[in-house]
Amino acid sequence: MVAGVAAVAGSATAQGDNGFLRGAGKTDLSLSYAMDRYDQFWMGTKRVEDPGVGEITRESLNLHIAHGVREDLDFVFAAAFVDVENDGLAPFDDESDLQDMSVGVKWRVAPESVMAGGMFSLALAPALKIPMSSNENNTPTAIGDGQMDWRNRVIAQWCSAGGWWLAAETGYDIRAEEPGNEIPFNVTLGIPVGAQVTVMPFYAQTNSFGGRGYDIGQGDFPGVEEDIKRYGLSVYARVSEQLGFSIGVKSTMDGKNTGDVDGGWWAGLTWKL
């Protein structure tokens, strides 16, 4: 049941990955819709409103595929189509196009081991993020930064004998050209509710540094230093052995040069092929 949970995680949801693997020859395919909006944002560390920007609304359709190559190794692919609109006074064009795809693996580097009455696992999850279209990336309505990323992630997870689990994901993401490199830190707690449902509160943080290091208004948007702290809650429910669905919400606690998203949400379906 829980293996399908990670299939709807990702940048659209802000929820980090976990350490579950699909198993050799098994495939999860997930399709999700996500939406968030904001009319306030941090310019540097100061939260402001701008009638020229107005309210930004971002919607996305997200595809995620995970295939078990071996019992200890998954191949992972993700892609997104993004639509961004605003109602401000400035003449920012709405954008709608394919955004990024990511290709990577998740590899359990050692057998699970007993720890504190539960099972501990450690996985490496390197991936390459590649823009799928060439669009304007220097406006508030940009669908993405238009840059390649090399993501170097590690996932530690502990599962209790009672079925609940705790996963922590971090690493070092190398970003090409203007954006600064990033250190993500994501923590997810999985709480089973009966045999069919898992409730997952999470915390997600991204710290960027290096690069151009601009604040908004000082240079091009791809060179802006963006830091984010968010929290949220998602729920995964299994309808059958082959089908499950997920819903979730997220909100921004604090940030730097980022939108104050409050009440962003997503919903998705997962098929086990």
Task: Give the pLDDT confidence of 157-181 residue by residue, as tens digits.
Answer: 999 999 999 999 999 999 987 888 9
- Mean pLDDT calculated for residue range 34-57: 93
- Mean pLDDT calculated for residue range 201-208: 96
Residue 137's Cβ-side half-sphere holds a number of Cα atoms within 13 Å equal to 18
- Mean pLDDT calculated for residue range 62-90: 95
- Mean pLDDT calculated for residue range 39-47: 92
Highest mean predicted confidence (pLDDT) among 88-97, 145-154, 210-219: 145-154
12 pLDDT band (50/70/90 cuts)?
A: low
- Mean pLDDT calculated for residue range 197-217: 89
- Mean pLDDT calculated for residue range 16-21: 95
What's the confidence (pLDDT) of residue 272?
94
Average pLDDT, the chain: 91
CATH class of the 2-272 domain in this structure? mainly beta
What's the confidence (pLDDT) of residue 178?
80
What's the confidence (pLDDT) of residue 1?
36
